[in-house]
Amino acid sequence: MFGRRTAPVEAPATAKSSAAVKKPAPAAPKPAPKPAPKKAKAETKSATQAPPRVVKPAAQKPSEQVEIGGRSDEYFHTKTTIFNALIDTIDLSQLAQLDTEAAAEEIRDIVNEIISIKNVQMSIAEQESLLQDICNDVLGYGPLEPLLARDDIADIMVNGSSRVFIEVGGKIQLTNVRFRDNAQLMNICQRIVSQVGRRVDEASPICDARLPDGSRVNVIAPPLSIDGAALTIRKFKKDKLRIEDLVNFGSISPEGAKVLEIIGHCRINTLISGGTGSGKTTLLNCLTGFIEHDERIITCEDAAELQLQQPHVVRLETRPPNLEGQGEVTMRDLVKNCLRMRPERIIVGEVRGPEAFDLLQAMNTGHDGSMGTLHANSPREALQRVESMITMGGYNLPSKTIKEMIVGSIDVVVQAARLRDGSRRITHVTEVLGTEGDTIITQDLFVYDMDGEDVDGKIIGKHKSTGIARPAFWDRARYYGKEAELASALDAAAE
């Protein structure tokens, strides 16, 4: 059969080579059948039926684990045995030449044969899910596949082969998903990064990549990560959240959303600040939705995540250095180059270094309405970070000059936060007004006021306008004919 090894390889204790597959009965080792896995049904998510799990001492209790596919230890054992037999039977290099469907068909045939040779007792449904798992292992991302298929998962975090966490609804949960061993995990990391022409190994143990669906991936391999490779995936959401969704989730009030719409539309230079996973990119994506369709927009990102709907968009992505340490294109290179591309707006996915200087320059040299995100815990801290990024970028400018530059460029800082109940909120919409001596003066237009938490631990609070009736961007709103909308949104929020 195509894909099978022509010369049988050394057979492991439990498996037989291709010859064994072809001549079933006599070659089967100890026929003692493995008891059928009891919980192999695909997508059985019942936590109550799951048998006790072996958990490392430091792990969460089994009851806190999320069951993905309800796999038992027995199931993993049977799968490993059959998988090993399969690997000894097929020739992976030939298999790689087949298209996915043909390869899956081939694997199915062989696995079915192995199951019958080994006399493994399984129901049709159990056999089906085993086949699916093995196809995933050989052709796809193995145990990650069921997680990647779910759209409600925001992040997948793999800490070595036996600890896989997911973030759902803002909460991090331990799952029962695990890899056969660290080698399988490394293999899958390798498979992911090789798709974008990169390699991860001891010599280059850190790697960023992207899945074909756009999900952002980071791998850090041993020896840097001590307990096996650490793999982090920010899942790409097919249906990006829109500002209406943020209003429905209570992330922002309807009036606050209206003000954000005006900010996006009226070409107000905006910085979105927030902690990791607080929803900065999502918010930036929403804000870009208010840009007019006739504007030329250039986006610069480390991994393209933004989904702009306008027709006139140029998307740029940074490039890491190759294995020889050459060919790197930094965010700064991109932002500088943007300025020669006649942009009307420049959108920087994440500002984290000296490109802050170039972005500020762009903002106050006629590219109004430029935007970017950065990691900071408050609007004030965000401005301080911009200053320190510029200082650390080697610009020998006095602090006062940098502050004046910041004030002259950034109009508004929008702060996003992930609260302790897992919900994401826009906590501040803050204007940058000017400098007083050595201090940057800001004024909050909207803040999220927390009132405590309810019986389920959900945070109760309210978005409030601070009573500012005429924000500093009032004239600009008037220029774009939006002052009436702005006034009514601020009035409504003040009530």
Ligand X SMILES: Nc1ncnc2c1ncn2[C@@H]1O[C@H](COP(=O)(O)OP(=O)(O)OP(=O)(O)O)[C@@H](O)[C@H]1O
Give helix then strand counts, H and E, for the chain: 17, 15
Would you call 391 helix, strand, or coil by DSSP? helix
Distance of CA 436 to the CA centre of its chain: 40
Q: Which is nearer to Mg ion, 175 or 281 (CB)?
A: 281
Q: How far is the CB of 332 from ligand X (least distance, A)?
A: 19
Q: How far is CA 13 from CA 29, 73, 75, 88, 351, in A?
A: 8, 20, 19, 11, 55
DSSP state of 66: B
Nearest residue to ligand X by CB is: 279
Q: Are strands 230-234 and 153-159 parallel, antiparallel or unpaired?
A: antiparallel
* 376 in contact with ligand X (CB under 6 A): no
Return d(Cα 327, Cα 335) in angstroms, integer. Answer: 17
- H/E segment holding residue 110: helix 100-117
Contact pick of 71, 79, 234, 258 for ligand X (by CB under 6 A): 234
Q: Is 108 left (phi over 0), alpha (psi -120 to 50) or beta?
A: alpha
* 27 in contact with ligand X (CB under 6 A): no
Question: Given the rule CB under 6 A, which of 75-83, 187-195, 246-254, 360-368 is the region that contacts ligand X?
Answer: 246-254
* 249 in contact with ligand X (CB under 6 A): yes
What is the C-alpha end-to-end distance of the chain, expressed in Å?
A: 75
- Which of Mg ion, ligand X, none has residue 343 at its interface (CB below 5 to 8 Å by kind)? none
Q: Which pair of structure tokens corresponds to residue 192?
A: 């992911």
* 239 in contact with ligand X (CB under 6 A): no
* 214 in contact with ligand X (CB under 6 A): no
Instruction: Mention every residue, 6+ apart, whose C-beta is less than 8 A from residue 144.
Output: 156, 158, 164, 177, 188, 233
Q: Answer whether 95's CB lies under 8 Å from 103's CB.
A: yes
Q: In this structure, what are the phi and psi dihedrals at residue 13, rounded to the nearest 5 degrees?
A: -55, -40
Return d(Cα 317, Cα 299) in angstroms, integer. Answer: 8
Q: Which is nearer to ligand X, 93 or 276 (CB)?
A: 276
- Which of ligand X, Mg ion, none has residue 353 at its interface (CB below 5 to 8 Å by kind)? none
- Which of ligand X, Mg ion, none has residue 214 at its interface (CB below 5 to 8 Å by kind)? none
Q: How far is the CB of 170 from ligand X (least distance, A)?
A: 7
Q: Answer whether 203's CB lies under 8 Å from 223's CB.
A: no
Contact pick of 81, 136, 161, 251 for ligand X (by CB under 6 A): 251
Contact pick of 241, 304, 308, 397 for ligand X (by CB under 6 A): 241
Q: Answer whether 407's CB lies under 8 Å from 363's CB.
A: no
For the chain, the residue count is 495
Q: How far is the CB of 375 from ligand X (least distance, A)?
A: 6
How many residues bind Mg ion (CB under 5 A)? The answer is: 1
Contact pick of 37, 143, 274, 369 for ligand X (by CB under 6 A): 274
CB atoms within 10 A of CB 436: 8
Return d(Cα 235, Cα 2) in angstroms, integer. Answer: 35
Q: Which is nearer to ligand X, 106 or 155 (CB)?
A: 155
CB atoms within 10 A of CB 363: 25
* 237 in contact with ligand X (CB under 6 A): yes
* 281 in contact with Mg ion (CB under 5 A): yes
How many residues bind ligand X (CB under 6 A)? The answer is: 16
Q: How far is the CB of 281 from ligand X (least distance, A)?
A: 3
Q: How far is the CB of 380 from ligand X (least distance, A)?
A: 18
Please tell me the number of Cα atoms within 13 Å of 171 on its side-chain side: 10
Burial class (CB in 10 A: 0-12, 13-18, 19+), 275: middle
Q: How far is the CB of 446 from Mg ion (least distance, A)?
A: 22
Return d(Cα 378, Cα 176) in angstroms, integer. Answer: 36
Return d(Cα 19, Cα 312) in angstroms, integer. Answer: 61
- Which of Mg ion, ligand X, none has residue 65 at its interface (CB below 5 to 8 Å by kind)? none
Sign, CA dihedral 192-299-318-375, equals: negative
Q: How far is the CB of 206 from Mg ion (least distance, A)?
A: 19
- From residue 281 to residue 310, the character string flagging contacts with ligand X as x (rule: CB under 6 A) and all else as - is xx----------------------------
Please tell me the number of Cα atoms within 13 Å of 38 on its side-chain side: 6
Q: How far is the CB of 155 from ligand X (least distance, A)?
A: 7
Nearest residue to Mg ion by CB is: 281
Residues in region 35-64 near ligand X by CB under 6 A: none
Q: How far is the CB of 166 from Mg ion (least distance, A)?
A: 18
Q: Which is nearer to Mg ion, 108 or 352 (CB)?
A: 352
Q: Which is nearer to ligand X, 27 or 241 (CB)?
A: 241
Q: Which is nearer to ligand X, 274 or 369 (CB)?
A: 274
Q: Which pair of structure tokens corresponds to residue 389?
A: 């990024």
Q: How far is the CB of 279 from Mg ion (least distance, A)?
A: 8
Return d(Cα 289, Cα 286) in angstroms, integer. Answer: 5
Residues in region 410-469 near ligand X by CB under 6 A: 424
Contact pick of 142, 264, 279, 343 for ligand X (by CB under 6 A): 279
Q: How far is the CB of 281 from Mg ion (least distance, A)?
A: 3
Q: How far is the CB of 450 from ligand X (least distance, A)?
A: 16
Q: Interface residues with ligand X (CB under 6 A)?
A: 154, 234, 237, 241, 246, 249, 251, 274, 276-282, 424
